[in-house]
């Protein structure tokens, strides 16, 4: 049963629609990421759930209770801000205790709970430090402990890691996920980092211009994007514009090439323009002329980027068709491929790739 329900929520600032008819539900203990570019309405929705912002229309329901008009003080939700927002005049321990004191919890219980939370985030040694004596990562751990201390019904995080550097970000995101799973707390997590969303979430809501473009598990979002926006916002995507030669035979023309695809959209007819969506890592180097299940292209390498474990290749398809991005294992060169600018290489990709109608 859904624990947190968001029904047809809409919010407009002057003429700017920040959130437009968004609906989704979260089960108890589910971790849902709100992923989208800057200005797409993620924060606005999160603030509506927290009660800092009123929706113009729609309802927020928590555990069967409609909280749409309830002030934030009474919602019992934990919030973690991008700017940490720790009280500068209080120690880490007093920050964590704040939400317990407002709820008039007896003092000995407060002490125990503060210790428990600080050790959960690995900071029991630094209980008496003030925020300015803590690193950014430590401050955000305190903020997480503070949000969790009063046992909130829902945990809300607004880009909690975006002010931290890369290594701490990766560590801390693993830790947030671990803590969230240990406590089984229903969580909304705002981010514009697709890697973060893919790594942490049970499900992802992809935002674009205030709308939910797609809602699904990380695998669904990555493997079966339902819109061009999602396909290129989450991961990289080659989008090759082709023309249908024969719908019945499943053939399309890309430049001078004839390619085979397994599934064309139902509503296209011969001569229509379609897009092939191919992830860079789905394109293989080399070509076996006997393998009839693969499409073959020749690519002139324009640029080789060393990415550590992988090589990123940008190239141009020989015979027309546009640019192509490849993502190949780093040892590809050692195995005989000639990946340097100007070289021409054979590449293949499967016939079972996604094909959509071309957007006009």
Partner 1 sequence: MKRLSVGSWLVGIVALLYFIVPLVATAQFSFQEGPGQPFWAAYTSILESAQFWQSLRLSLGMALAAVVIGLIVVVPAAYWAYLRVPQLKPWIEFVSILPFVVPPIVLVLGLVRLYASGFGPLSARVTMLMGAYGVVSLPYMFRSIDTGLRSMNVKALTEAALGMGASWTRIMFQVVLPNIRQSLLGGAFLTFALIMGEYAISSMLGFNTFGVYMLLTGQTQAQGAAALAIIAFILVWFFVAIMQWVSRNSITTIGGSR
Ligand X SMILES: Nc1ncnc2c1ncn2[C@@H]1O[C@H](COP(=O)(O)OP(=O)(O)OP(=O)(O)O)[C@@H](O)[C@H]1O
Using CB under 5 A as the binding criterion, the count of chain residues that bind Mg ion stands at 1
> Which residues 44-63 are close enough to bind ligand X by CB under 6 A?
44
Q: How far is the CB of 200 from partner 1 (least distance, A)?
A: 22
The option from partner 1, Mg ion, ligand X, none interacting with 73 (CB < 5 to 8 A, set by class) reads partner 1
Q: How far is the CB of 319 from partner 1 (least distance, A)?
A: 56
Q: Is the dihedral of CA 223, 224, 228, 233 positive or negative?
A: negative
Site map 5..44 versus Mg ion, x via CB under 5 A: --------------------------------------x-
Residue 36 contacts ligand X per CB under 6 A? yes
The option from ligand X, Mg ion, partner 1, none interacting with 50 (CB < 5 to 8 A, set by class) reads partner 1
Residue 83 contacts ligand X per CB under 6 A? no
> Which residues 10-29 are close enough to bind ligand X by CB under 6 A?
13, 16, 18
Residue 39 contacts ligand X per CB under 6 A? yes
Q: How far is the CB of 99 from partner 1 (least distance, A)?
A: 3
The option from partner 1, ligand X, Mg ion, none interacting with 105 (CB < 5 to 8 A, set by class) reads none
Which residues contribute to the site for Mg ion (CB under 5 A)? 43
């Amino acid at each position: 049963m859904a624990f947190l329900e968001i029904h047809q929520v809409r919010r407009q600032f002057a003429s700017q629609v920040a959130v437009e008819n968004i609906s989704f539900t979260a089960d108890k203990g589910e971790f849902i990421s709100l992923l989208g570019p800057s200005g797409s309405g993620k924060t606005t929705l999160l603030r509506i759930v927290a009660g800092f912002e009123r929706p113009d229309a729609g309802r927020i329901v928590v555990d069967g209770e409609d909280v749409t008009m309830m002030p934030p003080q009474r919602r019992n939700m934990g919030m973690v801000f991008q700017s940490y927002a720790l009280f500068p005049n209080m120690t880490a321990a007093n920050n964590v205790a704040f939400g317990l004191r407002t709820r008039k919890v007896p003092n000995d219980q407060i002490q125990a709970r503060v210790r428990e939370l600080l050790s959960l985030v690995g900071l029991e040694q630094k209980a008496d430090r003030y925020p300015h004596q803590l690193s950014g990562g430590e401050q955000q751990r305190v903020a997480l402990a503070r949000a969790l201390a009063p046992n909130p019904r829902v945990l809300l995080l607004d880009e909690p890691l975006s002010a931290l550097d890369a290594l701490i970000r990766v560590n801390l995101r693993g830790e947030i996920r671990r803590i969230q799973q240990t406590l089984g707390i229903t969580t909304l997590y705002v981010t514009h980092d697709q890697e973060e969303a893919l790594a942490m979430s049970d499900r992802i809501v992809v935002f674009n211009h205030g709308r939910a473009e797609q809602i699904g598990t990380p695998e669904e979002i990555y493997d079966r994007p339902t819109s061009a926006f999602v396909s290129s916002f989450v991961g990289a995507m080659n989008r090759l514009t082709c023309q249908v030669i024969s719908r019945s035979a499943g053939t399309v023309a890309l430049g001078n090439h004839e390619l085979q695809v397994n599934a064309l959209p139902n509503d296209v007819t011969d001569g229509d323009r379609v897009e092939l969506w191919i992830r860079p890592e789905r394109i293989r180097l080399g070509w076996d002329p006997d393998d009839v299940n693969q499409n073959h292209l020749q690519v002139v390498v324009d640029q080789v980027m060393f990415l550590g474990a992988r090589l990123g290749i940008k190239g141009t398809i020989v015979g027309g068709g546009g640019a192509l991005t490849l993502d190949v294992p780093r040892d590809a060169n050692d195995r005989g491929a000639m990946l340097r600018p100007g070289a021409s290489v054979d590449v293949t990709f499967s016939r079972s790739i996604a094909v959509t109608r071309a957007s006009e």
